[in-house]
Structure 1
Amino acid sequence: MKKLSIILFIGLIWMAFGCAEGYIDDIAFVEPGPDEAAPEVTINYPSEGTLIRVTEDVTSMEVDLEVRDDIEIQSIVVELNGEEIARFEDFPDYRRALKKFEYDNVTNGQHTLTVTATDLSGKTTSETVNFEKVEPYRPVYDNEVFYVPFDGDFMELVRIQNPEVSGSPGFTNGVVGRAYAGANNAYLTYNTNGLRNQEFSAVFWYRVNATPDRAGLLVMGPPDTNNPNAMNNRSKGFRLFRESAGPMQRVKLNVGNGSGDNWFDGGEAADINPAAGEWAHIAFTISGSSCAVYINGEVVSQGAFSGIDWEGCDILTVGSGAPRFTEWGHLSTSSLMDELRIFDRALSQDEIQSIMAAERN
């Protein structure tokens, strides 16, 4: 027992000697440095210039922000148009706060969002962004179910949907505001929910670029499982396209009734002169008994038709025949398109001419 006590005593002396020699560091209290910097505020959403488009007059949005400070955040205050909508004073990480919250009363019009952060020493930083809740589009015409104005984006305004964009289409001056500017291998595809009706009309403005000598304009067709790399199943849906007729470009419509396809080719009456460099108004109608094609408000082709079959027609292509109508080379060009509208009934000639006149003025 005495020998064990001696061994323990020697061990304690050795440990004390080791600490004195620096083998074990003392735990030292570190004073925080001075609070020199104001907080940093980042507003991730909404960003400057955000346009919120929904079908409702009042909607919600998620506010997404980040605040950093060199010492400690004391509070974060969020204001919309000068009124406080959120306050935060509890931060698990007191130097970095990531905050997301839903605000459910965003009305139509311009808005200003301000985030103000304060640190423990009273330093304050405010950041502001301006955004707009765009008033919902109200269809101008009876039975209008689809509208794309191409005024700087490709959004369809009746259902509020963005297309899948292939290639790099752009924008240019149009008949009304801006217009779609096609490009090589560029086109848009929209879903066809609400568009597959037994009566169907489409109207739009078109300025043709004849290079290459053929192109798709609008296509709602089914997949072609027998020819997946060069599709051309014309038994269902429709294909509106153009191709050369000497120096002119001829507009043609092909429509499938389920058992075969039907052609509406007006010959010379359906020709557009690319050299003129002018906008042409194009329209076509489909019903259970007939189809018609119009250029600048005049009938260029019409005939009897037994009714369209929409099976498998789940996408609408704008600006090309791809991907469902490619075997004959009706792809994209640098042609321009503006004011695309679709209706769930067959428009009359007078209605088409009225739309033309309203948009031209």
Structure 2
Amino acid sequence: MKITSKILIAGLVAASLSCNDGYIDDITPVPQGDDETAPEVAINFPDPGPLTWVPEDVMAIDIDFEVMDDIEIQDIIVTMDGQEIGNYTDFRDYRKAAIKLPYENLTNGDHTLTVTANDLSGKTTTNTVEFEKPEDYIPQYDGEVFYMPFDGQYLELVSVSEATAVGEPGFAGESASGANAYAGATDSYLTFPAADLAEGEFSASLWYKVNANPDRAGILVIGPPDPDNPDAQNNRTAGFRLFREAAGSNQRIKLNVGNGSGENWFDGGATADINPGSGEWVHIAISISGTECAVYINGEPVSQGTFPGISWEGCDIMSIGSGAPRFSGWGHLSDNSFIDELRIFNKALSQTEVQGIMDDEQP
């Protein structure tokens, strides 16, 4: 028993020595000799250029940067517009520091962030990023004319105007991208004026987490009035109707477009099905040109084809999260699903553009 204990103690001592002989840990060697290089400074956030617009005049950000040195970091100093906002001298790993610095008072306008790192031998490295907190939202994509991020509010950022809430829609407490997505509710939806959105070409992009109850609903609709059926409107000669219907245990995404004298259907069948049981966010986009329509799910076309062009006759409102009031005759009413990052474009989007938007927005 005594011999076993001595062997165990000797083994632990040897292991301890081998783990620290020239190493900070078991994988990172400590270089020997003189300090040869200055520190490396990488600023991960903010990026150069404008930040994503927010309606508040003052916002909070998390500054994200890293510093590395071949021997040892002495200190790091962070300034915003020439004023010191951070000073670091104590590091868990004295050759590498990954730091997130909260900054609560970022105002509108141009800003300069500077991170300066010194090592023990007196070498210094400074990295600077010039960025902007925009006073107004700057569209992020070619042809973007409408953007609702649903970050806990129903504000459209291009026009800086509020959508009208019908009933009591709410927020999801989660999002596909951003802070807080739209959450539908029974007999509830949003409306927005459509006159400035009705162009010869039209596209829409959104994230969607489907709730299969009810088993059919409108998602995004711009349609004309139906004076012959005021309580169950279903005039499909103009505008478009993006909606869903039950397909077995799935929900099928469909698009109907009015061409002035009739209608065109874009139904991808089973390829346009979404599984409500997955609990996943799905990206949906529609693209309408003067000669062709396409429906995309997660960046892939599920239905597309030619048609004679859209008519916008009488189309003055857009419904978000319901077919009501202009597409209610077949029961496509309010949608209890979640919707996020709704963008509208005055051009037809290509598949490459749809995939680019999806890649930019997904977490």
Same fold (TM over 0.5): yes
Structure 2 distance, partners of 1:156, 1:316, is: 13
**Deviation sequence 1:85-114 (CA, Å, 0-9, x none):** xxxxxxxxxxxxxxxxxxxxxx838xxxxx
- Aligned residue in 2 for 1:238: 240
Structure 2 distance, partners of 1:256, 1:155, is: 28
Structure 1 distance, partners of 2:211, 2:155, is: 24
Q: Would you say the 8 A contact 2:168–2:188 is kept in 1? A: yes
Structure 1 distance, partners of 2:155, 2:284, is: 21
Q: Would you say the 8 A contact 1:238–1:253 is kept in 2? A: yes
**Deviation sequence 1:255-274 (CA, Å, 0-9, x none):** 00000011000000000000
**Are 2:326 and 1:330 aligned?**
no
Determine which structure has more spread, i.e. the larger CA radius of gyration.
1
How is 1:211-290 mapped onto 2 (pairs within 5 angstroms)? 211-290=213-292
Structure 1 distance, partners of 2:331, 2:255, is: 16
1:332 deviation in Å?
1.0
- Aligned residue in 2 for 1:156: 156
Letter in 1 for 2:176: V
1:164 deviation in Å?
1.3
Structure 2 distance, partners of 1:212, 1:237, is: 24
1:219 deviation in Å?
0.3
Q: Which stretches of structure 1, 4 residues or more, deviate above 6 A after TM superposition?
A: none
Q: Would you say the 8 A contact 2:195–2:315 is kept in 1? A: no
Letter in 1 for 2:147: Y
Give the SS at the match of 2:244: strand
Q: Which moved more, 1:190-199 or 1:138-147?
A: 190-199
Letter in 2 for 1:325: F
Q: Would you say the 8 A contact 2:242–2:255 is kept in 1? A: yes
Give the SS at the match of 1:357: helix
- Aligned residue in 2 for 1:191: 193
Please provide the CA RMSD for this pair: 1.7
Q: Would you say the 8 A contact 1:187–1:320 is kept in 2? A: yes
**Deviation sequence 1:2-25 (CA, Å, 0-9, x none):** xxxxxxxxxxxxxxxxxxxxxxxx
Letter in 1 for 2:248: G
Structure 1 distance, partners of 2:188, 2:196, is: 25
Structure 1 distance, partners of 2:266, 2:331, is: 19
Structure 2 distance, partners of 1:134, 1:285, is: 29
How is 1:28-177 mapped onto 2 (pairs within 5 angstroms)? 108=108, 135-172=135-172, 173-176=174-177, 177=179
1:334 deviation in Å?
1.6
Structure 2 segments unaligned to the other structure (5+ residues):
1-54, 58-106, 110-132
2:344 to 342, 350, 361: 342
- Aligned residue in 2 for 1:206: 208
Give the SS at the match of 2:294: strand
Q: Would you say the 8 A contact 1:218–1:241 is kept in 2? A: yes
1:293 to 283, 292, 295: 295
Structure 2 distance, partners of 1:286, 1:217, is: 17
- Aligned residue in 1 for 2:25: none
- Aligned residue in 2 for 1:318: 320
Give the SS at the match of 2:360: helix
TM-score (norm 1): 0.63
Q: Would you say the 8 A contact 1:52–1:134 is kept in 2? A: no
Letter in 2 for 1:170: G
Structure 2 distance, partners of 1:216, 1:292, is: 18
1:359 to 353, 358, 361: 361
Structure 1 distance, partners of 2:299, 2:150, is: 22
TM-score (norm 2): 0.63
Structure 2 distance, partners of 1:228, 1:333, is: 21
Letter in 2 for 1:237: G
Q: Would you say the 8 A contact 2:147–2:156 is kept in 1? A: yes
Q: Percent identical across equivalent pairs?
A: 63
Structure 1 distance, partners of 2:340, 2:139, is: 16
Give the SS at the match of 1:325: coil
1:163 deviation in Å?
1.3
**Deviation sequence 1:216-256 (CA, Å, 0-9, x none):** 00000000011111000000000000000000000000000
1:193 deviation in Å?
3.1
Structure 2 distance, partners of 1:178, 1:298, is: 26
Letter in 2 for 1:353: Q
Structure 2 distance, partners of 1:187, 1:212, is: 14
Give the SS at the match of 2:161: coil
Give the SS at the match of 1:178: coil
Letter in 1 for 2:149: P
Q: Would you say the 8 A contact 1:287–1:305 is kept in 2? A: no
1:52 deviation in Å?
6.2
Structure 2 distance, partners of 1:333, 1:198, is: 28
